[in-house]
Amino acid sequence: MAPTVTHNPDASRFEINQDGHFAECVYRRQGDLLVLVHTEVPAALQGLGLAGQLVKAALAFAREQKLRVRPSCSYAVTYMRRHPETQDLLEVPFNPLP
């Protein structure tokens, strides 16, 4: 069974609680901008694709709310580079890779 991503707006994060462990994607909302600040998955849950699920949920929320996105955490940057269908959400487009 796939883990459930929960939006916790009071804590400004998307969360997964699984097997007694907690994974999160923390954001800051600044007007019409969603800043993805930090994504963390504990060692016991790494390699299961949870970070991707968290960022995907955050980006779906941004799209639904018509927000621009600033990926400040390295994982969110990598995720958005690997998923070009999300790049229209970017506050500032990525520089082309060399």
User: What are the tens digits of pLDDT across the range 17-42?
Assistant: 998 999 999 999 999 999 999 999 99
Q: What is the CA radius of gyration of the chain?
A: 13
Residue 40 belongs to some domain of the structure: yes
User: What are the tens digits of pLDDT across the range 38-54?
Assistant: 999 999 999 999 999 99
Instruction: Compute, in degrees rounded to 10, the torsion defined by CA atoms 87, 26, 10, 63.
Output: 10
Residue 94 belongs to some domain of the structure: no
Residue 25 bears catalytic tag: no
Would you say 41 and 52 are in contact if contact means Cβ atoms under 8 Å apart? no
In 1-98, the DSSP E strands lie at 6-8, 13-18, 21-30, 33-40, 68-71
Residue 97 belongs to some domain of the structure: no
Residue 69 belongs to some domain of the structure: yes
Residue 15 belongs to some domain of the structure: yes
Q: Which of 25, 36, 73, 80 is catalytic?
A: 73
Q: What pLDDT band is residue 93 in, cutting at 50, 70 and 90?
A: confident
CATH number for position 31:
3.40.630.30
Q: How many separate domains does the chain show? A: 1
